[in-house]
Amino acid sequence: MTRTSSKPPARKRAPSFATLAVAPHTVWMVLFIIAPLLFVAYYAFTDANGTPTLSNILALGDHTETFFLSVSMAVIATFLCLVIGYPLAYFIAKLSPRAQKIVILLVMLPMWMNLLIRTYSMMAILDDGGFLNNFLMRLGFDPVHIVGTAPAVVFGMVYNFLPYMVLPIHSVISKMDNRYIEAAGDLGCNGWQTLFRVVLPLSTSGIISGITMVFVPSISTFYISQKLGGGTFDLIGDTIERQFQNPATYNVGAAISLVMMILILISMAIMNRFSDDEGTVIV
């Protein structure tokens, strides 16, 4: 390759052409991505009459408990997804290529079904008069009260978002060069040592994306807590949703959303930094 031919020639065409092609998208982004976010900030710092105020932000103190509950539930759900999902991804990667294809397909399919449907079907099964309790009673057991408890909400999150954890991890593990594993064995690692000293560190990037892909929807959900929490659990998502039922509380809702968004951005930035550093150290 000579130096000149290595320059992508297409880029040499009139720059106005590129600008023209990108223009509709850019305008759209400014109008409907950037402007709305500015509106969130605007509403968060004004009252219902548009007067600047900090009262919405200060009112967040009333929701400390909700924030705490949401964060802890999302963290627990994410942790469970990792603990359940990592071995699953690892085991799937050990299957024959044909079997892997089928199983991954099966793991993925539920992601394409509407979250409402999945959550609702889960509720229908776990409900006091639902399938599971009918089944238990027929076997002579006492019915179990599940819907309306914290574990039910966490379970709903895990059920809905587990595939988001499994897929990125599996994708990293299955692409991993098998020679690393052979080398580890050659150097005297047993199965577990290979897993913890080689495979796990090498799949950090998959774990990180899995964690974010589970954590973000978990912390912002409102449907899962509404259905499986039986209305007794108020998470951030529920609170935001409620504020937007009534124009008078838009401003408080915007403030809560803004804070949640910033929280998520910060945690993602930390994760990203973490994964990048890990990446460079390992590779």
Partner 1 sequence: MNQEILIQLKHISKSFDGETILNGIDLDIHDKEFITFLGPSGCGKTTTLRIIGGFETPDEGDVIFDGKRINDIPAYQRHINTVFQKYALFPHLNVFENIAFGLRLKHTPEQEIVRQVKDMLALVNLKGFERRKIATLSGGQQQRVAIARALINRPKVLLLDEPLGALDLKLRKDMQVELKNMQKQTGITFIYVTHDQEEALSMSDTVVVMADGCIQQIGTPTDIYNEPINAFVADFIGESNILDGTMPEDFRASFAGHVFECLDSGFAKGDAVDIVIRPEDVDVVAPEVGMLRGQVSGVTFKGDYYEIIVDVCGFKWMIETSDYVAPDATIGLHIEPDAIHVMKKSKYSNMFGDYSSFSEEFDELSDAEAEEVEE
Partner 2 sequence: MKILSKSYIALILAVLYVPILVLMLFSFNSTNNTGVFTGFSTYWYEELFRSAETFAALKNTLILAVSSALISTVIGTLAALGLDRMRSKLLKGTINSVTNVPMMNPDIVTGISMMLLFVFVGTLLGSTEKLNFWTLLIAHITFNIPYVMLNVSPKFRQMDKFLPEAALDLGCTPAQSFFKVELPCIMPGVVTGFIMAFTMSLDDFVISYFCSGSDFQTLPILIYSMTKKEVKPDIYALSTLMIIAILTLLILTNLSGDKGESLKDKLSDSASRMRERMQTRRAARASGKDGESQ
**Partner whose footprint covers residue 253, from partner 1, partner 2, none (CB < 5 to 8 Å by kind):** partner 2
The listed partner (partner 2, partner 1, none) that binds 84, CB under 5 to 8 Å by sort, is partner 2
Strands (E), the chain: none
- Residues numbered 24-43 forming contacts with partner 2, rule: CB under 8 A: 24-26, 28-29, 32-37, 39-40, 42-43
Torsion 102-104-106-109 (CA) sign: negative
Q: Which of 261, 265, 260 is nearest to 68 (CA)?
A: 260
- When asked if residue 282 is in the footprint of partner 2 (CB under 8 A), the reply is no
Residue among 60, 75, 111, 189 that touches partner 2 (CB under 8 A): 111
Task: State the amino acid at position 99 in one-letter form.
Answer: A
131: Cβ contacts below 8 Å, ≥ 6 apart = 124, 125
Contacts of 111 (CB under 8 A, 6+ apart): 163, 164
The token duo for 14 is 């009139």
**What count of other Cβ atoms lies within 10 Å of the Cβ of residue 228?**
28
Contact 43, 55 (CB under 8 A): no
Count of residues of this chain found to bind partner 2 when the rule CB under 8 A is applied: 102
* Residues 53-82 contacting partner 2, CB under 8 A: none
Answer with the entry of partner 2, partner 1, none that 39 interacts with (C-beta below 5 to 8 A by kind): partner 2
Cβ-based nearer residue to partner 1, 3 or 98 = 3
**Binding partner of 4, given partner 2, partner 1, none, CB within 5-8 angstroms per partner class:** partner 1
Q: Which of 58, 116, 187, 248 binds partner 2 (CB under 8 A)?
A: 116
3 binds, among partner 2, partner 1, none (CB under 5 to 8 A by kind): partner 1
